[in-house]
Chain A
Amino acid sequence: MSARLTKQQGEWINRAAVVKFSFEGRGFSGFEGDTITSALWANGEKVLGRSFKYHRPRGILSLANHDVNVMLTDGLDTNIRGDVAPVSNGAVFEAVNTDGGVRKDKSRIIDSIAPLLPVGFYYKAFHTPKKMFPFWENVIRKAAGLGVVNFNYPRITKPKQHIHCDVLVVGAGASGLSAAIEAGKQGLRVVLVDENAQLGGSLGFDWGGSQESGKLLGELSAEVQALPNIQVITSAYAAGYYPDHLIPVVTKDGMVKVRAGAVVMASGAFEQPPVFRNNDIPGVMLGSAAQRLLHRYGVKPFEHGVVFTANDYGYRVAHDLLEAGVKVAALIDLRTEVDAALPAGLARRGVKTLQGSAVYEVEPASDKFSVKAVVVAPYNADSAEADTGSKTRIECDGVAMCAGWAPAANLLYQAGTAMRYDYGVHQFVPNKLPAGIFAAGRVNGVYALADKLADGKRAAVAAMRHIGKDLAEAASVPVSASAQSHPYPIVMHAKGKNFVDFDEDIQVKDFINAAKEGFDNIELMKRFTTVGMGPSQGKHSNMNAIRILARLRGVPVEQIGTTTSRPFFHPTPIGHLGGRGFHPHRTTPLHDVNAALGAVFTDVGPWKRAAYYTVPGLGVQDTILAEVEAVRSKAGIIDSSSFGKIEVHGPEAGVFLERFFTGLYADMAVGESRYTMLLDETGVVVDDGLAHRLEEELFYLTSGTSNAAAVYREMQRWQQLWQLDIGLVNVTGSYAAINIAGPLARQVLSGLVNFNLGEQQPHSAREAEIAGVPVRLLRVAFVSDSTYELHVPTTQAAFVWEQVMRAGSSLGLKPFGTDAQRILRLEMGHAMPGIDTDGLTNPLEIGAQHAIAMDKPDFIGKRSLEIIAKRPLKKALVAFALNPGYAGEMPFECNLVIRNGEIEGRVTSIAYSRTVGRVIGFAYVAPQHSAVGSAFEIRTDGGAMAPATVVPFHFLASQH
């Protein structure tokens, strides 16, 4: 039977567009604009999902994005919220978390053994024997849960946008619309965000039997539309608050990060359910959910129901039900004292009111799929118990329940708002707001429609004053003097199933038991019972949980406090957080040249560097060793463009270097190159490199790839302090670097450069030209004693590379990558900061005394080094080799050095060197064991002990 009403004013559905879809294998139709839930409900389908733990049948609760028991999958996506997700033609929906379908879910058996499964049962039941825990964990995870992750889900880009505005208004109900219009009229940039598909908030459904709200909504919406400076974002939620008024707004297709001058939080309040036995049976729903069904989707929530209320709002719901033609058998009011006009108004329409009464329990149909009747009894507010001696039974097929509101204050909490519990309105309201944040409407404890409009306007004026608008302060709007929420809407029942948290099937007794076990702090209780930890994050359960705990402990609600509210406010897909997925990376100007040569790239810091160059038919390890061999026997060429390159200009450049690095530089001759080592102020090795004096007042510094940017920043920082007459220029991106290394390197270059290479000494630098391109030619010895480093303007790098490759082709010149480079530098005995040192290593531990001029007036880290030098060394870096012919398990970096069963150090670098014919590396050992010839063992990943011997650092020289 269709529950669809005739056309309603302001309804969200388009009756001209029929949508066909299936649910649990059966075909249904709805209208464009329907949610899955509203379309199913219109078709008389009331069992829409199963609960998380007990697998109880569930229907509508809020119809406001919090019906987490109605989670669906369409075969691709999962955990689709039926209460807000639109129907679409051809969609095939199934409920998640069932075993055999939503009606015949085999797991429903769990409901019948619920007494055996109180909260925390698995903490206690399955921790021993330990080996069985994985089994039970698997069982529990299968029984309780949500949808199954689809690992074949396609990559859908969810862009993130940044927008800026003067005033951000969160919530487009009466207060939010009023605030946005007020700010918009001043010509400011206003952003108005609402999670619903259309503007209006409760104006669109809470009519109280009149159509005035709908009319007002039309007027306000028209005003917003007439102001082009108001940007409206609907179907989007403000997900969190971050400093300086940065608020991520999550839309279906992505995220908008809004940076606002001021924020008006008109986020409203979540309706809270009263707690009574079987308050979860399909057909029992919040009053506001019934109103949404009626006015947004033109669907009757039930045919003849009752309203169970604990505030005045229930009367408005009853009138709306009556207007829609729903029979209201009775209104049960938990309160004894009520404004007489309210029951009188209903009495005139033939509805009796039972004051001071409670719905003791809902009597479900035998299959628990629907409501059969309610049992009503007088209510004792002190004991929270119903007098079952005087109970009556009312046959009905639905219950609209209203107990009060919890402010949607999550973002206010995140912003640092101090809240207080107001005993007039009986809810938490802002007490002290952070600068630039303003609250309006229900979240501010303001409920009457006229007051909400005034409060929105007031908040907007305050926001505009905050950003500097010269406006007179608006009159304050008082918090509602009448209670909009019941202080304790709980009805005890000996048989339980009076649910507080619908997400996780948590009953009143679970809280009592938790408190008895000592979990009587709200944060502890939350974690033990898991209240508020489900997908709705406690939006309809936390307030009742606080009230229950307060009564259990006999303290006021404000002493219990609230749990921490963290971003994001609402579950958000990972894809939204990932966004488009920017991965900034740097490519050298020779990237494509390398690729054409078969390079396999690796990430080195932000750079893409060639790790090695593939050779058809050759394995990776052999390829790398062949590259090494080419350098040792003939010549190799490597793209080193990622190396850090910094120029220091000026008359005091030498002074700067002597203060910045550990060595001496002021006395360097033009054309000379010298080693540099940088320490931090604690004497820890940070970086090393080379300084080349190109001119009297120009030093050209080169360093490794990873630290270049950080070293330049550090130089700028020190220069700010020292104020020397120098100029610092980071030219890392301006110059490409090409190294030609090996015994034939000079021969490769000799026909290219415009001078006699034989004249250039080791450790020197000079300007030159190759085929008309200016180059800086450096003689270095990092990977080979015979290495030339060409630094050329970036845009001409490919041209120069090609010249060199052509010149070297007949000499066996081969490209080599970073993997071969690591072995080559290891063979040369060069330790590398960051690889062979860590965040605590001082230069004395790596034997770098030669690079330190302690007799200089000062340098960074000198004072610390003086102190360190007086203390005994704790470790020493040594070069080692495994025994010739070692055939055991290969040790890796970070494997431990073991001596007499104790940890003595660790391996920092290790590789097999075909040149040396042994596995070689660096390791830290105790200083007393660092002499050449000392033996130690390395424990491999597999636990084998590899014997090693300390050898001289220069492995190649040690071979000779």
Chain B
Amino acid sequence: MQTEKLITPIAHALNHAHGEQIDWGVIEQMKVAAHFGGKELEEERKKNLGIADASLLRKFGVKGAQAADWLARQGVAIPPRANTWARNADGSLVLRLGNSEFLIEDAPGGTSCERLAQAYAEAKGVYPVPHVEASFVIGGHAVQALFSEVCSIDLTRASLGAQDVVMTQFAGVSVVLIRQDLQEEESLYRLWCDSSYGSYLWEVIAGIAHEHKGGPVGIGRYFAAYS
């Protein structure tokens, strides 16, 4: 058996997801769970409390005193201050994780990260940060009920600004969270965590989601490019 070169960091959780009907696929060269049951089931879950594995989206990171200047020279939109995020013209996300640390994530089908990786050279004061985090999309009307269980800080719309980057803990695991208003009718939340905690956190969130008649859905339910 040939193992795929790239496998989602939450493969362990998916391999042990009892009762889930998983259609595996390869998206962006990574082996991922493309679908969990049929469209009707996934849409129902998405409406209530859906979670999708977005780990396949390529990421690029730099830090260092000159990181902001270097990224700006590459045409990257620089969020105005630490713990905020911006969107590039091509839809890629730019998260300013600290004064001098940045995470860029491709939009579905995008190539920003590859371009930046190729452009990167040992520029003085700029250091590459490899990013292989597990990354999730979470949405649905019960999303605040989920957050209230796994996180002790206030993540309601009243407190979490549209461009805020929150570094907090979900169920005991350090995560980065933003609210991403991808669609008009609702907010989606994007979450990143260390890949080694990915399976654990996926199981926790998916478990709670099931209690709210939600659950895992394919990434294509959120990003049309992958549907």
* Contact flag A159-B149 (CB < 8 Å), given A727-B63, A795-B6: yes
Q: Identify which of residues 632-653 in chain A touch chain B, using a CB-to-CB cut-off of 8 Å.
A: 641-642, 647, 649-650
Contacting pair B152 A162 (CB below 8 A):
yes
Enumerate chain A residues within 8 angstroms of B152, measured Cβ to Cβ. 162, 257, 259
- A729-B63 in contact (CB<8A): yes
B171 touches A798 (CB 8 A): no
Bound Cα distance from A163 to B122, whole angstroms: 47
A586 x B200 contact (CB < 8 A): yes
Q: Which of B39-47, B123-131, B215-223 contacts A (4 or more CB under 8 A)?
A: B123-131
For B2, the chain A residues whose CB sits under 8 A away are 802
Complex contact B171–A587 (CB within 8 A):
no
Give the residues in chain B near A798, CB-CB below 8 Å: 3, 7, 11
Cβ of A112 within 8 Å of any chain B Cβ, yes or no, is no
Kindly supply a per-residue 1/0 record for chain A positions 733-761, scoring 1 wherever the CB is within 8 Å of any chain B CB and 0 otherwise: 11100000000000000000000000000
Q: Which residues of B contact A697 (CB under 8 A)?
A: 122
Question: Does A126 belong to the interface (CB within 8 Å)?
Answer: no
Rounded to whole Å, the gap between the CB of B136 and the closest CB of chain A is 16
Rounded to whole Å, the gap between the CB of B209 and the closest CB of chain A is 13
Query: Residues 579-609 of chain A: 1 if any B CB is under 8 Å from the residue's CB, otherwise 0?
Result: 0101111111101100000000000000100
Tell me whether A733 and B11 are in contact in the complex, defined as CB-CB below 8 angstroms, given that A727-B127, A799-B4 are known contacts.
Answer: no
> A941 CA to B199 CA in the complex, in Å?
41
Say whether A584 contacts B197, CB under 8 Å: yes
CB distance from B5 to the nearest CB of A (A): 5
Q: Is the CB of B196 within 8 A of A587?
A: yes
Q: Does A161 contact B (CB under 8 A)?
A: yes
Q: Could you give, for residues 771-797 of chain A, a 1 whenever the CB lies within 8 Å of some chain B CB and a 0 otherwise?
A: 011000000000000000000011110
Cβ contact within 8 Å between A164 and B156:
yes
* Binary B-proximity of A901-930 (CB < 8 A = 1, otherwise 0): 000000000000000000000000000000
Q: Which B residues are CB-close (under 8 A) to A802?
A: 2-3
Task: Give the CA-CA distance A798 to B5 in the complex, in Å.
Answer: 8
A731-B128 Cα distance, complex, nearest whole Å: 11
Contact A592/B148 with A164-B159, A584-B200 known, Cβ cut-off 8 Å:
no
- Chain A residues with Cβ below 8 Å from B158 are 189
* Nearest opposing residue in chain A for B2, CB measure: A802
B127 A649 Cβ-Cβ under 8 A: yes
Contact A796 B129 (CB under 8 A): no
Which chain B residues lie closer than 8 Å to A731 at the CB level? 129-130
User: Which residues of A are found within 8 Å of B6, using beta-carbon distances?
Assistant: 795-796, 799
A163, B148: Cα distance in complex, Å = 6
Interface flags for B146-177 (1: CB within 8 Å of A; 0: not) read 00111111101011000000000001110000
Hey, which chain B residues are within 8 Å of A4, CB to CB? none
Contact indicator A592/B9 (Cβ below 8 Å):
no
B65 to chain A, nearest CB (A): 8
A160 within 8 A of B: yes
> Separation in Å of the A624 CB from the closest CB of chain B?
24
Provide the A249-266 mask, 1 if CB < 8 A to any CB of B, else 0: 000000001010000000
A793-B4 contact, Cβ under 8 Å, with A259-B154, A582-B172: no
Contact with B along A710-736 (1 / 0, CB 8 A): 000000000000000101010111110
Q: A584-B200, A799-B4 are in contact. Are A727 and B64 (CB under 8 A)?
A: yes
- Is the CB of B8 closer than 8 A to any CB of chain A? yes
Q: How far is the CA of A591 from the CA of B9 in the complex (A)?
A: 11
B residues less than 8 Å from A695 (CB atoms): 122
User: Per DSSP, are chain B's interface residues mostly helix, strand or loop, or mixed?
Assistant: loop
A592 and B127 contact, CB distance less than 8 A: no
Question: Chain B residues with Cβ under 8 A from A161's Cβ?
Answer: 145, 148-149
B interface residue count range (under 10 / 10 to 19 / 20 to 34 / 35 or more): 35 or more
**Cα(A582)–Cα(B205), bound, Å:** 11
> Which residues between 98 and 137 of chain B lie within 8 Å of chain A, taking CB atoms?
122, 125, 127-133
Number of A-B contacts (CB under 8 A): 116
Q: A586 touching B172 by the CB < 8 A rule?
A: no
Q: Which residue of A lies closest to B56 (CB)?
A: A795
* Least Cβ–Cβ distance between A148 and chain B, in angstroms: 31
Contacts of B128 in A (CB 8 A): 729
- Among B145, B154, B195, chain A packs the most CB atoms within 10 A around the CB of B195
Interface residues of B in 172-197 (CB under 8 A from A): 172-173, 194-197
Is B142 an interface position by the 8 A CB rule?
Answer: no
Contact A733 B204 (CB under 8 A): no
Return chain A residues, CB-CB under 8 Å to B82.
none
Contact assessment for A795 and B30 in the assembled complex, using a CB-CB cutoff below 8 Å = yes
Check A794–B148 contact: CB distance below 8 A: no
Contacts of A159 in B (CB 8 A): 149, 208
Nearest A residue (CB) for B169 = A584
Given contacts A592-B11, A697-B122, A734-B132, contact A607 B5 (CB under 8 A): no
Which A residues are in CB contact (< 8 Å) with B196?
Answer: 586-589, 607, 641-642, 732-733, 794
Contacting residues, chain B, for A163 (C-beta < 8 A): 148
Instruction: Please determine whether B11 and A585 come into contact, CB atoms closer than 8 angstroms.
Output: no
B81 at the interface (CB under 8 A from A): no
A543–B158 alpha-carbon span in the complex (Å): 44
Decide if B15 is an interface residue (CB 8 Å cutoff): yes
Residue of A nearest to B172 (CB): A584
In the complex, which of the residues A162, A586, A725 contacts B151, with contact meaning CB atoms closer than 8 Å?
Answer: A162
- Complex CA distance for A590 and B149, rounded to whole angstroms: 30
- Cross-interface CB contact of A795 among B132, B173, B194, cutoff 8 Å: B132
Q: Which residues from A are CB-within-8-Å of B208?
A: 159, 580
User: Within 8 Å CB of B63, what residues of A?
Assistant: 727, 729
> Measured between C-beta atoms, what is the minimum distance from A695 to chain B in Å?
8
**B8 adjacent to A160 (CB under 8 Å):** no
Smallest CB gap from B144: residue in A:
A163
Decide: A162 and B148 in contact? CB cutoff 8 A.
yes
Complex Cα distance, B127 from A697, in Å, reads 10
Which residues, 216 to 274 on A, are CB-close (under 8 Å) to B?
257, 259
Q: Which of B7, B130, B197 has a CB less than 8 Å from the CB of A734?
A: B130
Q: Whole-angstrom distance from the CB of B156 to the nearest CB of chain A?
A: 7
CB-CB under 8 A from A727, the residues of chain B are: 63-64, 127
B145 contacts across to A, CB distance below 8 A: 161
User: Which chain B positions have C-beta within 8 A of A735?
Assistant: 130
Closest Cβ–Cβ distance, residue A57 to chain B (whole Å): 44
Given A587-B199, A795-B7, is A592 in contact with B130 using a C-beta cutoff of 8 Å?
Answer: no
Q: With both chains docked as a complex, state the minimum distance between the C-beta of A725 and any C-beta of chain B, in angstroms.
A: 8
Cβ contacts under 8 Å, B15 to chain A: 592
A773 contacts which chain B residues (CB < 8 A)?
Answer: 5
B27 to chain A, nearest CB (A): 13
Q: Give the top 7 A-B pairs by smallest Cβ distance, nearest first.
A: A727-B127, A586-B196, A584-B172, A164-B154, A649-B127, A733-B194, A734-B130
Give B residues with C-beta under 8 Å from A.
Answer: 2-9, 11-12, 15, 30, 55, 63-64, 122, 125, 127-133, 145, 148-154, 156, 158-159, 171-173, 194-197, 199-200, 204, 208
What are 20 residue pairs bridging A and B, where the CB atoms are less than 8 Å apart in the complex?
A159-B208, A162-B151, A164-B153, A582-B150, A584-B200, A586-B194, A586-B196, A592-B11, A607-B196, A649-B64, A649-B127, A733-B132, A733-B133, A794-B9, A794-B132, A794-B195, A795-B8, A796-B7, A798-B11, A799-B4
Beyond A587-B199, A727-B63, 14 additional pairs, beta carbon < 8 A: A159-B208, A161-B148, A162-B152, A585-B200, A586-B194, A587-B200, A642-B196, A734-B131, A793-B130, A793-B132, A794-B132, A795-B9, A795-B132, A799-B4
List residues of A whose CB falls within 8 A of some B CB.
159-164, 189, 257, 259, 580, 582-589, 591-592, 607, 641-642, 647, 649-650, 695, 697, 725, 727, 729, 731-735, 772-773, 793-796, 798-799, 802
